[in-house]
Chains A and B, each alone.
Chain A
């Protein structure tokens, strides 16, 4: 294993990293460069040929289709609800229900943002929660920072599980194995992000005052996430946990668990006249929830088993002797279980109900579709190119090679560094999903080389990726733009970076303890 070979294998990732961090390139631009670099290195130094490159890239595109179908449909759903005025109603209801600023930060900035991540993801929680918090009286930089840190616990199981399904696909670890363990490992970061939000709201005093409330909310959210992962409904684990957290926070904030604080003027705000009830505004998400649960019923699973789409791939081998097994129905999309068809069905049901009740706005679907297209094009190019790069690296043996090198260097300290790799991936690309694609197989290979649990390391990769959302420039930009801080991203990032680095370190230490002491 020469240093030159290691450097060559790392070059596509280094190109991605350098383009994003040093050159400040966007994700699609950096992804395209990294894919081109990956292809060139695979061709020249790792025994690849055009067919092998094409097969690796096609696998990447198959995986991209699986993930992007979730991204496009969840953003479309959000935009339709927004067009119908539902997002305003949901936001106003949240503001009316909770009046204490600390409780607002926790219920809206922590739990509700997690719920929003559960249904939409893709920067939407920051886009919705940050202005809501400014509406409640928080300063713009604090509002954006709370939204960024507050939603970071929910990203892996958010967007109806797109990042979670990706780590499963990339590593080949069964959902029944990785889901409950990952959800259990999320318990600590869930609670710590709650304390971070309290600290952002009011410093150490707010942490002390809010501790009982944070423990009740965080405990409820963590338990809920674990139970949903255990029963095989990970796609709604963030959504339902966020909702449970909102409920627990609202109820607990009315009890002595949260000592009273003086109310400010923001809490006396008069709510504008509403066009529809909260439950009506929330109906599309009720449908998503209901259909996700129905899709897990054994009879439905059995009926839906043959209804799937996926491409078959042949076994391949590089001229250096690296072999990849054949794949059957790669990145399969199950019609009755994949989130995208369920979201589309929810949209159709919503259309029927809203039309019958006279609440449907003419042109809402078209306008939402246009917005969705505008929002998703660049992300799609970014995801496709980065996933292709990751799969070309994997199919030509570069990932395995790098995994061995990392294992050699870090040895027993690797679990501590593992979540930082996940966070780095999200920092670079703005996406937990992209991070899992880029580094999932690498982390798995490294775990294998070190002889530690690949399930724990893959979980920690995704948790680190989730937490990295708090500092990812792509998401920070969404937050700063929406609260009127464009060009002053540093004001937000200097608030979020210390919390993110600390929580990721705690996740690494937790993983090290689990792997070494149990």
Chain B
């Protein structure tokens, strides 16, 4: 099992890495599938933040 402290780090880095993908998918590429995928990653990170913080 991962400790909550470790998950907090993963949440932070997932958000850092996903941030440019949200912009690129929605603005640069304007691609619906990529946009949804990037939002799902951010949503998963947020769900983990609710659990870990």
Whether, in the assembled complex, A228 has its beta carbon less than 8 Å from a beta carbon of chain B, the answer is no
Contact B8 A378 (CB under 8 A): yes
Q: In the complex where A36-B43, A51-B32, A58-B19 touch, is A381 in contact with B49 (Cβ < 8 A)?
A: yes
Whether, in the assembled complex, A343 has its beta carbon less than 8 Å from a beta carbon of chain B, the answer is no
Contact A29 B49 (CB under 8 A): yes
| Band of interface residues on B | 20 to 34
Contact of B50 among A32, A54, A58, A62 (CB under 8 A): A32
Contact of A54 among B11, B26, B45 (CB under 8 A): B26
Contact A380 B26 (CB under 8 A): no
> Contacts of B45 on A, CB cut-off 8 Å?
32
Contact A54 B35 (CB under 8 A): yes
CA distance A176 to B38 in the complex (A): 38
Contact A29 B53 (CB under 8 A): yes
Q: In the complex where A29-B49, A29-B50 touch, is A61 in contact with B36 (Cβ < 8 A)?
A: no
Contact A32 B46 (CB under 8 A): yes
CA distance A311 to B26 in the complex (A): 13
> Contacts of B32 on A, CB cut-off 8 Å?
50-51
Please indicate which of the listed interface residues A31, A39, A50, A378 has the most CB atoms of chain B within 10 Å of its own CB. Answer: A50
A-facing residues in B12-42 (Cβ within 8 Å) = 12, 15, 19, 22-23, 25-27, 30, 32, 35-36, 38-39, 42
> Contacts of A313 on B, CB cut-off 8 Å?
27
Contact A381 B15 (CB under 8 A): yes
Q: In the complex where A28-B53, A378-B8 touch, is A35 in contact with B46 (Cβ < 8 A)?
A: yes
Contact B27 A314 (CB under 8 A): yes
Contact B8 A377 (CB under 8 A): yes
Contact A61 B19 (CB under 8 A): yes
Q: Scan A50-82; emit 1 where CB is below 8 A from any B CB, else 0.
A: 110111011001100100000000000000000
Interface set of A (CB-CB < 8 Å, partner B): 25-26, 28-29, 31-33, 35-36, 39, 50-51, 53-55, 57-58, 61-62, 65, 311-314, 377-378, 380-382, 384-385, 388
Q: List 8 A-B contacts (CB under 8 A).
A: A28-B49, A32-B45, A54-B35, A58-B23, A58-B26, A58-B27, A62-B23, A377-B9
